[in-house]
Amino acid sequence: MTFKALNPALKIIAPWREWDIKSREDEIDYAQDRKIPITATREKIYSEDRNLWHLSHEGGILEDPWNEPEESMYRLTVPPEKAPDQPQYLEVAFEQGIPVAVDGKPLGPVEVVEILNKIGGAHGIGRSDLVENRLVGMKSRGAYETPGGTLLLAAHRELESLTLDRATLHYKDLLAGKYAELVYNGQWFSPLRCALDAFVDSTQTRVTGTVRLKLYKGNVIIAGRKSPYSLYREDLATFAAEDVYNQREAEGFINLFGLPAKVEGLLDIGGVRGTNYRERKYMKK
Whether the pLDDT of residue 88 is over 60: the answer is yes
* Local confidence band at 56 (pLDDT 50, 70, 90 cut-offs): very high
- Residue 202, φ and ψ in degrees, nearest 5: -65, -40
Percent of the chain with pLDDT over 70: 90
Mean pLDDT of the chain, nearest integer: 90
Residue 32 pLDDT greater than 60, yes or no: yes
Q: Is 233 within 8 Å of 227 (Cβ atoms)?
A: no
Give the phi and the psi of residue 199 in degrees, each rounded to 5. -65, -45
How much is the average pLDDT of 203-209? 98
pLDDT bucket at 207, cuts 50 / 70 / 90:
very high
Task: Read off the DSSP letter of residue 34.
Answer: T
Q: Is the pLDDT of residue 283 over 60?
A: no
In eight-state DSSP terms, residue 64 is S
In this predicted structure, the answer to whether residue 285 has a pLDDT above a threshold of 90 is no
pLDDT confidence band for 20 (50 / 70 / 90): confident
Q: What is the pLDDT of residues 140-190, one digit of tens each?
A: 999 999 999 999 999 999 999 999 999 999 999 999 999 999 999 999 999
* Per-residue pLDDT, 22: 79
What is the pTM assigned to this prediction? 0.85
**One-letter amino acid of 139:** K
The predicted model gives 99-105 an average pLDDT of 98
Compute the half-sphere exposure of residue 178: CA atoms within 13 Å on the CB side of its CA.
14
Domain ranges of the chain: 13-45, 245-285
- Do residues 160 and 227 lie in contact, with contact meaning Cβ atoms separated by under 8 Å? no
Q: Can you give the pLDDT at residue 141?
A: 95
Checking if the pLDDT of 276 tops 80, the result is no
Lowest mean pLDDT among 17-31, 73-87, 90-104: 17-31
> For residue 90, what pLDDT band results from cuts at 50, 70 and 90?
very high
User: Is 230 or 40 the better-scoring residue by pLDDT?
Assistant: 230
Question: In the predicted model, is pLDDT for residue 80 greater than 60?
Answer: yes
pLDDT at 225: 98
Cα 125 to Cα 82: distance, rounded to the nearest angstrom: 12
Higher-confidence residue: 105 or 41? 105
**Residue 16 pLDDT exceeds 80:** no
pLDDT of 281 reads: 58
- Strand partners of residue 93: 101, 210
pLDDT at 95 over 90: yes
